[in-house]
Homo-oligomer: A and B are copies of this chain.
Amino acid sequence: MIAVCGSAAENARLNALAEEVGRRIALAGVTLVCGGRGGVMTAACRGAMQAGGLTVGILPGDEPRAANPFVQVAIATGAGHARNVMIVQSAAAVIAIGGEYGTLSEIAIARKCGRRVIGLESWELGNEADGIPRILPAHTPAEAVALALQHT
């Protein structure tokens, strides 16, 4: 699976990127996992589902019905913010799109767990000189998905 992380806030520009990322993950035959809510998560699931892919939403609450309508498998963790850890652990690679501190927590945990992280208009972190591995920057959805697929 490849994870897509980003804000639940609505941002047309980031949502368009997310939808295209979702579509490309589906076309690659890979399952998309995300937090199952709105904003970037809804857009990515919509893109994947419309391209015939499988979508998994790992929800913060205890009710599967809270998932966005493009989530096909809804996991009701009831774990709150801790569900972010479960999203990235379940994926071979993580694509972070925009995002504020919630997304940053997913990036940080992904790196802590040794998962590959690709950023699309997201946080720029890491410094090979200090031994802190970098977030790989991508310039387009196509590049982000290609980088995510490289080691999965």
Contacts and interface: CB of A to CB of B under 8 A. Distances in A.
A1 B101 contact: no
* Size class of the A contact interface (CB-based, 8 Å): 35 or more
B77 A86 contact: yes
The A interface, classified by DSSP as helix, strand, loop or mixed, is mixed
Contacts of A132: 100-101
Interface stretch (A17-25, A38-46, A106-114, A139-147): A106-114
A56 interface: yes
Given A78-B85, A90-B75, A108 B104 contact: yes
A75 B111 CA distance: 18
Contacts of A56: 73, 75
Nearest to A58: B75
Contacts of A85: 78, 80-82, 84-85
